[in-house]
Amino acid sequence: MNSSVIIFPGSNCDRDMDVALKKFGFKNEMVWHDDEQLPKSDLIVLPGGFSYGDYLRCGSIAGKSKIIKSVVDFAAKGGLVLGICNGFQILTETGLLPGVLQQNKNIEFICKNVFVKVNNKNNKYFNSIDKDVLELHIAHNEGNYFCTNDELKMLEDNNLIAVSYCNEKGEVNEKSNPNGALQNIAGIFNKEKNILGMMPHPERMIDKYLSGEDGSIFFKNLINNIK
């Protein structure tokens, strides 16, 4: 299975993602944002970081990069596109996913482990995953998901809220919402569920001694679903 990680100026989770993808069997290539062509890929990843220093709005300038046109074409053909953290912000700024990631409600950069509930397993990312609640890491200043009422209704009606912030027991409530995100939204799909954007970082949870392995579960499951 082939994957590609796009590097933007200011990406900083690109190499962690490369390590994670390779650890679970992907043949990964790093792709520079100024390239126009994507290598043959089964999965494209937009990694976390601070592309273009978060100037203007997070992800807005990266969303106009040369490579993005190829990513949009790849997604339109049903290709899997995963955006983590800044990658999620880039996906909303390109219009591949609805809504926007605003500044955290408490105006603090949040860096901690959180639990997220997997809401929909009928897709390549979570099909057959044997856990309903994953412990993952978040590190962001703009993770406060917001969209219009119509967009929220569309997400709910089509079961496109991929993961929601919750507590250890899987209860989704205000107390388990770290950043003020609408309906505790931590990640969403597009309608076809080939595009997933989420704030938590599975690539930071792949070592049983350092971090816990719920990210490992995510990647093992993903590559099995693509095979």
Partner 1 sequence: MKIKVIVTLKNGVLDPQGKAIQQTLNGMGFSSVNEVRQGKFFEVDVNEKDEAKAKIKVEDMCKKLLANLVIENFEIL
Q: Is 140 a catalytic residue?
A: no
Q: 59 or 202, CB closer to partner 1?
A: 59
Binding test (CB under 8 A) with partner 1, winner from 19, 32, 36, 56: 56
Smallest gap from Cβ 145 to partner 1, in A, equals: 11
The site string for partner 1 over 136-155 (x = CB under 8 A, - otherwise) reads --------x-xxx-------
Q: Is 93 in the site for partner 1 (CB under 8 A)?
A: yes
Q: Is residue 31 close enough to count as binding partner 1 by CB under 8 A? A: no
C-alpha 161/C-alpha 182 separation (Å) is 11
Identify whether the C-beta of residue 92 lies closer than 8 Å to the C-beta of residue 46. no
Would you please indicate which residues are annotated as catalytic (active-site) residues?
85, 201, 203
- Positions in the binding site for partner 1 (CB under 8 A): 56-57, 60, 64, 93, 98-100, 102-107, 144, 146-148, 180
